[in-house]
Each structure stands twice: as structure tokens, then as C-alpha cells.
Amino acid sequence: MKIILLGPPGAGKGTQAQLLVKNHGFHQVSTGDILREAVKNGTELGIKAKEYMDKGELVPDSIILELIEDVIYRQKSGEKNVIFDGFPRTVVQAEGLDKLLKKYSDKLDSAILLKVDNEELIKRLTSRRVCPECNTVYNLITSPPKKDELCDICGSKLIQREDDRPETVRNRLRVYRKQTEPLIEYYLKKEILKEVDASRSPQEVFTSVVRALKL
């Protein structure tokens, strides 16, 4: 089974992906990770990708798709249950992925959309705090430090990252909507979009995800 998780920043995609990996043997294919890995190992694709990265340019979709092909079809015997992470982000990328899967008589089975309304997302994202000394991440709502805004591990005063300030958060959400809404439309038309209410606790959301995937 090949799936993708869609949803805005703060919807809990990472948490749900981890739960699928842990409980249902999925393999998470994160384009960020495989890109870094290829660059680190100096593979042919890694060297090509690095040329773009060094110039501060986006790595072309064709290279990302080849990396994905390497990981899920050329290494070992091929991964059966895959969650795509960080890709596709645009309709063009989605079409590229479909084409690649088709080459191996495979297909994307489900696109799970984690739905959370804007106000809840803003609340979640602006509640994030980080320790400037040891980089431990907290959330004042879901995983607060034991002592009021102080790091549990090293006792430093927690800070809010620039990325998590209300204005930046609103902007990140605008960018997400603009980029991803066409993708939602794309998978809706293909009749593989499944919506899950992600405003609940991670465990409740996971129960719905499992049900939506018929696992």
C-alpha cells in the first residue's frame, strides 16, 4: 500500500506517520531524508542534487523522483507499504509520482487529509517552545515542560522560534493553502482522498486513519 498524508503544518502528519510505521510496518519515505542521504553518500544523484542545493536552487522534481525510485524499487526487494513524506507538494509532482508508480504497475492507494481549522492550528503552532541550549521542543498545550517555560533537561528559559510567531504562522498557513489546495482537488478527482478530523487527540486521529485505510 502506498499512501500520502496531506495537511497543514501543525496537523500532526509526523505523529501519524510515526504511528503507522510503528504499528503497521509502513516505511516512511521522506524526500528530505533521502536527499540528504544521497548527498552524504556522494551517489550520482546526490552529486547532481548537490549542485542545485549549492546554488540555493530547488532540486528538480526529476531528481527527487529518481531518488524515490531508487529507494522503493531498486533497493532490496522494493518497499511494499510506503508513506510519502514531503512529496508531492504540487500537482505536477503528483503527476510525476503517479507516472513513476505506474511504471512498476503500482499506484497510490490513499491520500489522507488531516483536517484542522485555522484557529486551532494557530493555537497549536504558536504554543511551541524550544530550549535555546539543548534544542528540546515543547508545546505548552500538548507537551508542556514540568516547570513553567523552563527546560526539563537543562533548566534554561524556553524561547519561541521566529517560525512559530503568530504572524509567521499565519503566513505559513497561507502558503500551505495556496500550494496544497490544488493537490486536494487532484486526489479528490482520483477518488482516493480520505478526510480525517485531526482536531482531536493523536490516538483518536490514528484510530480514524487506520479505519480510513482499512488496516
- Nearer residue to Zn ion within complex by CB, 155 or 166: 155
Read off φ and ψ for residue 80, nearest 5 degrees.
-85, -55
Do the beta carbons of residue 128 and residue 141 sit within 8 Å? no
CA dist., res. 107 & res. 190, Å (int): 11
151 lies in the site for Zn ion, by CB under 5 A: yes
Exposure string of 184-197, with b = 16+ CB inside 10 Å and e = fewer, is: bebbeeeebbbbbe
Q: Report which residue type is found at 53.
A: M
200 is known as an active-site residue = no
Residue linked to cell 488496516: 215
In the complex, the smallest distance separating the C-beta of residue 160 from Zn ion, rounded to whole angstroms, is 15
Binding mask 103-132 for Zn ion (x = CB under 5 A): ----------------------------x-
- Nearer residue to Zn ion within complex by CB, 134 or 175: 134
204 lies in the site for Zn ion, by CB under 5 A: no
Binding mask 155-194 for Zn ion (x = CB under 5 A): -x--------------------------------------
89 is known as an active-site residue = yes
153 lies in the site for Zn ion, by CB under 5 A: yes
> Pick the catalytic residue: 2, 13, 129, 194?
13
- Nearer residue to Zn ion within complex by CB, 92 or 137: 137
211 is known as an active-site residue = no
One residue of 58, 134, 175, 215 binding Zn ion per CB under 5 A: 134
**Which residues are designated catalytic?**
13, 89, 128, 161, 172
